[in-house]
Structure 1
Amino acid sequence: MQAIVNGTVHTVTEQGTIEGGTILFEDGEILEVGPDVEVPNDAETVDVGGKHVTPGLVEAHSHAGMGEWAQPHDGDVNEFSDPVTPHVNALDGFHPRDEELKNAFQGGVTTVSARMGSANVVGGIICSMKTYGDVADRMLIREDGMKAAFGENPKRVHGENYDREPMTRPGVAATLRQALMDAEDYVERRENAESEDEPFERDLGMENLARVVEGDLPLRVHAHRADDIATIFRITDEFGIDELSIEHATEGHVLAEEFVERDVPAIVGPTISSASKYELRNITFETPGILHDAGVKVAIQTDAPVLPQEHLDVCVGLAVREGLPEEEALKTVTRNAAEILGIEDRVGTLEEGTDADLVVWDGPMFELSSDAEQVFVEGERIYSSEEDDVDPREEYAW
C-alpha cells in the first residue's frame, strides 16, 4: 500500500482541490482521497510538502507510439494505400519504446489516444493507451474511436500524390458518405443472413465501420475549417451518428452554437503553429476559451509529434493566457479528455476506483515554469526528477 500525503490535491471531481490532502492507493488503484485519510503504518508514504498533485494528464489526440520519434519518415501513422482504410488498427502499430512516449510520461502525460494519421478520409481504429509499459496490449485502455479526416490532408495525399479521389472537398464528403452507406448495407446483409441462418462473408473494414453506424464506436474527425466542420455535422445528421468528436477544430469557435446543439466535444490544437497551410489561417489560442464559454466540452491536444508530447501543459497555459478559465484548464487534459474518449472510469480524476496515475508538480500544472517532479502510473513511480535512474526499464535499451 502507498500514500501521497500533504499535497495540494486536484481531484478534478466534486471534491475539488484538497489542501493537505492524502491519496491512498494499492495494486494500481486509488482506494481513498481526502483531507483525513487514515494511512496504515506499513504504507509506503511520500510527503510532497504541499506541492500540487493532479491526475496523470490525458492527451485526447496524439500519434505518440505511432510516428517513430525523430525518424525521417511517416512511421506507422498512415496507410496510404487507399483513402478508406477502416480495417487497420492503431494498436498493431503502437511501439511501446517510441521515444515520444518516454518524453510524454516524464512531462506528466500518462495516457494518450494514439491514432492513425489524417491522410485518409477513413483512417482506422484509434486506441487509448498508457504511455508507460512494455507490451502494447497491456498498455491498452480501450479502442476509443474511428479516425476520419476532412480538408486539405486527404485532398493533398490522394488527389495530388496518387491522382485519385478525393481531389476536392466534395470528393472527401462523398467518400465518407459512400463508406457509411456501404457499412449500413453491410449491417443489413449481415442481419438478414443471421435471421435466415445463412452463411455470411465477413469484411474486417466493414465490421469496424458497422460499429460506427450502429453507435458502438465514435467517429473522430480531423477538421480545421468551419465549412468542413459544418459538412461533418451535415453528414453525421444524415446517418444518425451521435457519437463523434471534432479534432483540431481550428475554426470551431465560429460554430460554437452548432457544437452545443449537437453536444459534440472539441479537441483543440495543436495551436503553437504558424499557418503552415491555408486552413490554419485563423489559428488562435482563444478557441478553447470561446468554446468553453459557449458550453462545449473542450480538450486540448499537441497532435504529437507535431508538437512535443511533453508540452501539453504548455498548450494549456497558453490557452489560459488567452481566456480559458484557470479552474477549467486542468479539465481539458484530464477529466474532459477522458470523458470524450470514454475512459473516465480509469483515468482523468483522482477518486476511489480509478487508476493510480498521478503527477506531483512543483507549481500549478498550467504555469510555464512548472515541472513534473514525480509521475506514477498504476501506482508505480516511473519518474522522479531528483533521481538519475528515472525509468526502471532502462536496462532494456530504449
Structure 2
Amino acid sequence: MLSLIALSLVTPQIALDAGVALTMNDRHVIHNARILISAAGNIENIGRQSGVAIPEGYQHLSFPGSFVWPGGVDLHSHTQTGGWGDINDMVHPDNPELRTLDTIRANNQLHKVGRAGGVTMVNAIPGSGTNISGAGTLVQLVNSSHVEDVVYKYPGSVKVAQGYNPERGDDLGASRMGMWWMLRWYLDRADAIAQADSLAKHPDMASIAGIFQKKHPFLVHTAGARDTYGTVRMFQLEAGVPVVVSHGSFNGFAVGKELAEVNARLNIGPRNFDFNVARNAQIRGLVEAYESAGNTDISIQTDASVIPQEEYVYQATLAERLGCSTWTALESINVRPASQIQINDRLGCLAVGLRADLVVSSGQPLDPRAAVEIVMISGEVVYDISDGQMY
C-alpha cells in the first residue's frame, strides 16, 4: 500500500507537443515541436515530433496550435509580501544586512495571477527608499504555501538605488556626493572581506561580499543619463563586479552608445517610453532606444506592483510596439534576465539538461490576444487554464 502511495507522488514523465517552440537558444525555432521532460523536471530531449519518439509510460500533452516558450523571469518585483507592505526600511541610508527572505508570503495572490501571465521566477527585492536596501531573493512561483519550496536562490541579488528615490534615506544619503561616497566605502569593505573569504565573520556585509565572489549581482535602481552611466562606472568598471542597471528611464538612453561599448546589462521598465518636449514632443520607446545605440543585453521588468505582475510579458509587447526588434523583445522575457541574474545554467531557454520552466500560450507570446494555457515549473504544471482562467 505504501509503495502505491509513493508511486502516485512521483512527478510524471511528460511528452509535450506544441505547434511552435521558441527555444530562445540562439533564436532557434522548432515547428511541430516535442519536448520530453524527466521525472526530475528537466528537459531530456527537444526537437521535431517526427524525430523524437514518445517513450513508453510518458504522459502526452498536445497543443498543436500553440506556442511553447521559456517562463518569464522578472528581475524587479516587490510582490513577495502579497501587497505593498514591508519593502522599505529607511532608518539608515545603507542597509546591506537587511533581506527580503523574511518577508515572503509563499503562493500569495499576486504570484498566483503572475503565474497565469507566464511568469515562473521573480527577483523579490526591497524598495528604493535607501541607497542600499538589502538582499533580494529569487522566488519560483510554484504552487506551494511553504517558503522553503518557493525560494530558488538566496541571495539572488543586492538592491541598490541611485538618484532621487534614496534621498528619502536622509542623512549622508540625502545627496549624490554622500551616496556615492558611502557606496564606494561599502564596496571597498566588501572586496576585502571577499578576498579574505571571511563572509561568516561579517554577516552584515556577506551579501555584498558574495558579489565580489561572483555569486550574484547588484541590481541597481537608476535613471537619467548621469546616474545610469555612473552606476556602470562605479560597479562594473571601477569595482569589477556584476551589476544590472534597472529602470534606465528618464533620458538614460542618452548614454546608450557608451553603455553598449562596455556591454552593460540593462533591465528596462516599468516605464516603457520617454516623452520630452525638448525632443520635439517625441515619444521614444526605451528598449528601442537602447537597442538602436548598440545594446544587446536587455531585459524587461514590471517593478510589480507598479505594473501588475501578470502583465510582465505585456511589457515586452509594448517594447516591440514602440520600435524594438521582435527577437530583442522575446529575449527580454526569459533568456536575457536569466543570464543577467546568473541562473542561465539552469533555466531561461528550452535546451536539454535545463529545467522545464515553460509556458504554453495560444499564440506568439508578444501577441496580447494570446492566452496562457499551461505553465510548468521544473516539469510540474502550476497553472492550467482548464481549471479556470485567471488572466
Scaled by the length of structure 1, what TM-score is found?
0.85
Q: Which residue pairs with 1:22 in the alignment?
A: 34
SS of 1:323's equivalent? Answer: coil
Q: Identify if the C-alpha distance between structure 1 residues 47 and 258 changes in structure 2 by more than 3 Å, giving closer, same or farther.
A: same
Q: Which residue pairs with 2:182 in the alignment?
A: 175
Distance in structure 1 (CA, Å) of the matches to 2:113 and 2:287: 25
| Aligned with residue 166 of structure 2, among 129, 132, 154 | 154
TM superposition shift of 1:64:
2.0
Asked if residue 62 in structure 1 is aligned to residue 77 in structure 2, the reply is yes
1:359-393 deviation per Cα after TM superposition (whole angstroms, max 9, x unaligned): 11111111121111111111121212222498xxx
Q: Which residue pairs with 1:33 in the alignment?
A: 46
Distance in structure 1 (CA, Å) of the matches to 2:30 and 2:354: 17
| Aligned with residue 43 of structure 1, among 36, 52, 58 | 58
Asked if residue 202 in structure 1 is aligned to residue 201 in structure 2, the reply is yes
Distance in structure 2 (CA, Å) of the matches to 1:262 and 1:86: 27
Distance in structure 1 (CA, Å) of the matches to 2:232 and 2:378: 38
Query: Map of 1:1-398 to 2, 5 A cutoff?
Result: 1-14=13-26, 16-27=28-39, 28-35=41-48, 36-66=51-81, 68-69=82-83, 74-132=84-142, 133-142=144-153, 143-155=155-167, 157-159=168-170, 164-184=171-191, 186=193, 202-236=201-235, 239-250=238-249, 251-271=251-271, 286-293=285-292, 294-388=294-388
Q: Identify if the C-alpha distance between structure 1 residues 241 and 284 changes in structure 2 by more than 3 Å, giving closer, same or farther.
A: farther
1:166-194 deviation per Cα after TM superposition (whole angstroms, max 9, x unaligned): 22222221221222233345567x57xx8
Q: Which residue pairs with 1:279 in the alignment?
A: none
> Contact 2:236–2:242 (CA<8 Å) still a contact in 1?
no
**How high is the sequence identity, in percent, across the aligned residues?**
26
Distance in structure 1 (CA, Å) of the matches to 2:109 and 2:22: 29
TM superposition shift of 1:236:
2.6
SS of 1:50's equivalent? Answer: strand
Distance in structure 1 (CA, Å) of the matches to 2:284 and 2:16: 34
- Letter paired with 1:93: T
Distance in structure 2 (CA, Å) of the matches to 1:332 and 1:309: 15
1:301-322 deviation per Cα after TM superposition (whole angstroms, max 9, x unaligned): 0111111010012111111011
Distance in structure 1 (CA, Å) of the matches to 2:59 and 2:132: 48
1:268-313 deviation per Cα after TM superposition (whole angstroms, max 9, x unaligned): 00026899xxxxxx99661112222413300000111111010012
Q: What is the RMSD of the two structures over their aligned residues, measured on CA atoms?
A: 2.5
- Letter paired with 2:77: S
Alignment: residue pair count: 366
Distance in structure 2 (CA, Å) of the matches to 1:58 and 1:12: 13
TM superposition shift of 1:92:
2.2
1:222-246 deviation per Cα after TM superposition (whole angstroms, max 9, x unaligned): 1011111232233236742231110
TM superposition shift of 1:266:
0.4
> Contact 2:100–2:136 (CA<8 Å) still a contact in 1?
yes
Q: Identify if the C-alpha distance between structure 1 residues 14 and 266 changes in structure 2 by more than 3 Å, giving closer, same or farther.
A: closer
- Letter paired with 1:33: I
- Letter paired with 1:32: N
SS of 1:65's equivalent? Answer: helix
Distance in structure 2 (CA, Å) of the matches to 1:29 and 1:75: 35
Q: Identify if the C-alpha distance between structure 1 residues 372 and 128 changes in structure 2 by more than 3 Å, giving closer, same or farther.
A: same
Give the unaligned 5+ runs of structure 2. 1-12, 276-280
Q: Identify if the C-alpha distance between structure 1 residues 255 and 2 changes in structure 2 by more than 3 Å, giving closer, same or farther.
A: same
- Letter paired with 2:269: G
Distance in structure 1 (CA, Å) of the matches to 2:118 and 2:282: 26
TM superposition shift of 1:334:
0.8
